[in-house]
Structure 1
Amino acid sequence: MKKLFSVFFIALFVFANAQDKEESKETANRFFYELTFKPKKDSTKLEKVMTVLDVTKDKSIYRDYTVIAQDSIIKVEVEAMQKSGTFKDLSKTIRMPKFSEKIDKFYPDMKVQYVERIANGFTPVNIAYTENLKFDWKISNEKEKIGAYTAQKATTEFGGRQWTAWFTTDLPFQDGPYKFSGLPGLIVKIEDADKNYSWVLQGNKKVANWEELSYAEKISGMNLKVTEVSREKFNKTFNDFKKDPLASARPYLKPEMMSQKMPGSDITVGEMIKNQEKMYKDFYGAVDNPVEKTQPAPEKKKK
């Protein structure tokens, strides 16, 4: 039976193919940012999620920490399924992330690559757009203690919002959460004027044998290959995917396949597919208040 695709954690058919990979020799500096955000434009409700910025010698990677934090749990569950040959619905034990994007900033020019994962049939693929962002920071002399660090204030406009950042030269990385960068030190706090999004640094550590792909991503057949498209095409492709996440897989879902039972389970493939579809729609419907309220106009094609 072919592998089914899951954007957020392991594909539910791949437990028989899970294998450990050779450990990486790279070390990364991992910065933990607690993100407080308002998911709905017309609501006062706030939510929190831990995000991370992993800084390597060549680039930084920003993403939701939820799935990474559960890697050891996922590995134990998958190995138990391998041993027993019995399917277990991990969606009941594994927390969903709040955000699915991954943002890479490549050193030294800080080119930003915004990556999302979609499905091509049963195969996960990465699509991305790139930007050369130059933030117009206004640095003031105002200083404040943010956690353990003495930080300095800076302001900018980005994505239709006014932002206030606090950076520290105690951490010599001209980087920060999401797409933010370009200050003479690491951003330890940044929030917009209306407090829709607020990141605060909570801690950091060195990660030995760092790997960009989590265990869950690797056994789901994901890789680091990226198809770069214009932002306009990216938006259309990703919006189409969010409306019908299983569109590209549906032609392969034959009736005889849908009626089969999952190994060692009473749930059918069809029921599992239905649950997956609901999971996707609930996920993408949970946030309608993006970080960037406005986006740059599409670049005019050269004649």
Structure 2
Amino acid sequence: MRSLLHHTLPALALAVALIPAGAHAEDFPVKNKTITIVVPYAAGGPTDRVARDLAEALRKPLGDVSVVVDNTAGAGSTIGTARVARATPDGYTLLLNHISMATMPTMYRKLPFSVSSDFEFLGMVNDVPMTLIGRPTLPPNNYKELSTWIAQNKGNITLGHAGLGSASHLCGLLYQSAIKVEMTSVPYKGTAPAMTDLIGGQIDLLCDQTTNTTGQIEAKKVKAYAVTTLQRLRTPALKDLPTLDESGLKNFQVTIWHGLYAPKGTPAAVQKKLNDALKQALKDPEFVKKQEGLGAVVVTDGRIDPAGHKKFVLAEIDKWGAIIKAAGSYAD
């Protein structure tokens, strides 16, 4: 018996070692296992909201498994993003992130991961316009008046953002560059605290995604001045806002996008199941309605496929790299 085991056990060990990593991918997802979508920003922010709507829309196409959102905020989204890069590549830990995936490679001198090589690209989710808004007590009532007010208050204007490399930070950089006025930058640990201080009058301006600003604009808790698209938006609460382009800042355009990612090495069969589920989720009438209500546009083009998603992000890395270098915004 000992002789038999002596010869059999090594053979069994070798056979197990030779089983492909994705051999059991056909079982994905297991009913009693939770899929976690990591959002690398604070709860209550725009990306968090998109993630929670997406998690709900993904449950049915994934076989009614539990899909939850976990906020791992900090360091301009690098902490949460690094967490997913290090996660077990089995499809149960995913990342939802926005344009930060394109700006981090230039924004940070050292990153604990590579955007291009440490992730599997599962598909884009949406495109989100941005809005330039102000505190409720700000004197200007429209963009023309705001331009005059900014010219008269140079050196005394505060512009909040959700942290280095965040969507609001990038929009703020471009806006200051476009109008050639430098404002006092006030960073926060997420959009929610920045919005709280804007409503409370602690900061003057904020340029943020419609997913986070539409409700505040509707409730008249902030003053809305312009949108960052080349055409006006059709969302009821925002349809009367002028574009910055028509207001004199020609070709000013900032649109924030969100994409879904898995750790590098996630089995191809699991990636396909996740991409198939994502495509179904993006057609969910309730999800589409929620996104449209926030001014976001659900992706329907080639970026919904992994190859198209990755090609787009790599091009965005080049695009934003030049902008960030020109602005001189870096972090260690």
- Fold shared per TM-score above 0.5: no
Q: Which structure carries more strand by proportion?
A: 1
**TM-score (ref. length: structure 1):** 0.30
Structure having greater relative contact order (Cα 8 Å, sep ≥ 6)? 2
Q: Which structure carries more helix by proportion?
A: 2
